[in-house]
Amino acid sequence: MRSRRSVGDAAIASVTLLALCSGTWLLTSGDDGHAPPQPAASQADVSGAPRTGPGAPALPPSPPDRIRIPSIRVDAPLMGLGLTKAGSLDVPPAGRRNLAGWYEAGTTPGETGTAIVAGHVDNADGPAVFYRLGALRRGSTIEVERRDGGTALFEVDAVEVYDAKAFPDEKVYGAAARPELRVITCGGGYSRTTGYRGNVVVFAHLVGGSR
């Protein structure tokens, strides 16, 4: 009887100690959170000139429903986005962590031209849909599921980071002669007073489509 009780006591004592240590560790570690990954200079566009390679033949216009980027484990629905009064691209509601958007008045992904997708890097609760976008590398695949039942496959050409004060509108949003895609999120350094300094922008072009 006595020994059984002391075994129980020892178990409770060790659980208590373990809980104390892990609780303390959980509450003291990770105080600063984790900055989202930023693209390396080697992932930037090296050509400098506009890319005019043929890529895959354009798909007919069809609104996108979902974006998948397997290499950074993105699989999120897409909502339509408009413009803010200031003329910048609107963003999905911050409360929904796994939701991205596409610029509805523009080109649909897969069609000739520049299709634009944007999503949050984080929200008030922590990392969001495009948290790892800056870790994407040239040659990675982006899949866009379309409402016509097909999928547009894009290959990443470059991953850039731009300061908001010198955002290259024409390069990011301008027309393209082939089906291209931009995926945009916040990045480029963070300050508690002014927020993120700019945006991470992924440039990709269509390499295939399936129905």
Partner 1 sequence: MRRTARMLTGTALAVGAVGMVVVPAYGAEGGGLELGPASVVPGGEVGVHTDVCKNGAAAGDASAVGAGAFTMAPGSDDRRATGKFRVPPSAQPGTYEIVADCAEGGRRVTGDLVVSLTSTPGQVHPRGSVKTGVGGAFGRDPVQTAAGVTALAVAAAGGTWLLHRRARGDGI
The nearer residue to partner 1, 95 or 139, going by C-beta atoms, is 95
Q: Smallest distance, Å, CB 207 to partner 1?
A: 15
The percent helix, strand, coil of the chain (3-state, each to 5) is: 20, 40, 40
Q: Least distance from C-beta 163 to partner 1, angstroms?
A: 8
Distances (CA, A) of 67 to 63, 71, 106, 125: 12, 12, 17, 22
> Which tokens is 71 given?
């290499």
Phi/psi at 36 (5° precision): -65, 150
Distance CA 74, CA 67 (A): 7
Task: Please give the helix or strand (H or E) that residue 10 lies within, else none.
Answer: helix 2-28
Best CA proximity match to 153, nearest among 76, 87, 64 = 64
| CB-nearer residue toward partner 1: 44 or 139 | 44
For the CB of residue 76, give the shortest distance to partner 1 in the complex, in Å. 13
DSSP run (H or E) holding 156 = strand 151-163
Determine how many CB atoms are found less than 10 A away from the CB of residue 38: 15
Token pair in block for residue 114: 């520049």
**Between 70 and 168, CB nearer to partner 1:** 168
Nearer to partner 1, 60 or 70 (CB): 60
Min dist CB 118 to partner 1, Å, is 5
> Which CB, 116 or 142, lies closer to partner 1?
116
In angstroms, what is the minimal distance from the CB of 115 to partner 1? Answer: 11
Closer Cβ to partner 1, 156 or 206, answer by number: 206
| CA 8 vs CA 14, 15, 19, 54, 112: distances in Å | 10, 11, 16, 73, 71
CB of 71 to partner 1, least distance (A): 19
Residues counted in the chain: 211
Residues paired with residue 154 on neighbouring β-strands, in sequence order: 142, 206
